[in-house]
Chain A
Amino acid sequence: MAAKITYGDVEVGTELPTQTFPVTRATLVQYAGASGDFNPIHWNEKFAVEVGLPDVIAHGMFTMAEAIRVVTDWVGDPGAVVEYGVRFTKPVIVPNDDKGATVEVSAKVAAKLDDNTVRVDLTATSAGQKVLGMSRAVVRLA
């Protein structure tokens, strides 16, 4: 593995560059096709409202995929991720307009572990709400 960041260069509390990811209805349709998850709550407003949602919501797995980019962009090698887990706490609501929604992800090193690995805690919010809880990755550094 070829991480760009070395274990010696990080400390507990080191912050990773924050990123903001756009999500539109088109994004969700594209993700549905690529992932094979065609649940209509992710593209059909009528269906979403009928099952009690305020509007179409993003796939939780889409949000999970965006959030880890803060880690993989930082470390360089996506293969350096050893563990990754999230809890889906609130949906990302994606209105049918030109803007859609955004997911903002920040992260910091929460612990230095054995074998050149660190635990990174992630925070993902959309429209001011925390959308992922217990969001953590363990990544192996150089």
Chain B
Amino acid sequence: MALDQSFVGRSYPPTDPYEVGREKIREFAEAVGDANPAYTDPEAAKALGHADVIAPPTFVFAITFKAAGQVIEDPQLGLDYSRVVHGDQKFAYTRPVRAGDRLTVTSTIEAIKSMAGNDILDIRGEVHDETGEHVVTAITKLVSRAGG
């Protein structure tokens, strides 16, 4: 059954702050095999003009996707998550995520489309730091495949 179009534009309450730790960034950089010193060495990061070590560009997805859970699990929306695949992912950065950031995410349903029985859901996650400064916008496209 196609998802209700009236959910387009609906926003969910901001998440509790996620505190970005240096060691979590290091763990992520190691997991993707990326030895760029900006991720692990504060002096190297400062030499590039950053206040502390920064996170790899896709690091923030773990935070925005968890926040998108509010949408995915909204019983009123009624998405069948067992049929969901990740279609597209996009990030628009105001600045990189860095150690010490306390990030909150506000998720909004950007679009709902139905194509060939598939439900396609775009969720926009706006990420702000503790001062209210915008850090990054994540757009996550989920495709719920037609029932078989």
Interface flags, B26-47, vs A, CB<8A=1, else 0: 0110111110101100000001
Chain B proximity of A6: nearest CB distance (Å): 15
Instruction: Give the contact stretch, choosing among B89-97, B99-107, B113-121, B123-131.
Output: B89-97
A79–B58 touching, CB < 8 Å: no
Chain B proximity of A80: nearest CB distance (Å): 9
Chain B residues with CB under 8 Å of A82's CB are 92-93
Instruction: Give the contact stretch, choosing among A84-92, A93-101, A105-113, A123-131.
Output: A84-92
Q: How many A-B residue pairs lie within 8 Å, measured between CB atoms?
A: 102
For window 56-77 of B, CB contacts with A under 8 Å fall at: 56-58, 61-62, 65-66
A88–B57 touching, CB < 8 Å: no
B31–A88 touching, CB < 8 Å: no
Tell me whether A14 is interfacial, beta carbon within 8 Å. Answer: no
In the bound complex, what is the Cα–Cα distance between A64 and B28 (angstroms)? 13
Chain A proximity of B63: nearest CB distance (Å): 9
For window 1-49 of B, CB contacts with A under 8 Å fall at: 24, 27-28, 30-34, 36, 38-39, 47-49
Quick one: which of B62, B85, B90 contacts A84, CB cutoff 8 A?
A: B90
Quick one: which of B47, B61, B87, B92 contacts A83, CB cutoff 8 A?
A: B92
Chain B residues with CB under 8 Å of A35's CB are 28, 31, 61-62
In the bound complex, what is the Cα–Cα distance between A79 and B25 (angstroms)? 14
Quick one: which of A61, A65, A77, A83 contacts B93, CB cutoff 8 A?
A: A83
Chain A residues with CB under 8 Å of B61's CB are 35, 61
Chain B proximity of A23: nearest CB distance (Å): 9
Chain A proximity of B118: nearest CB distance (Å): 14
Per CB-CB distance, the 7 closest pairs between chain A and chain B, nearest first, are A85-B90, A34-B31, A79-B96, A2-B48, A65-B32, A65-B58, A77-B48
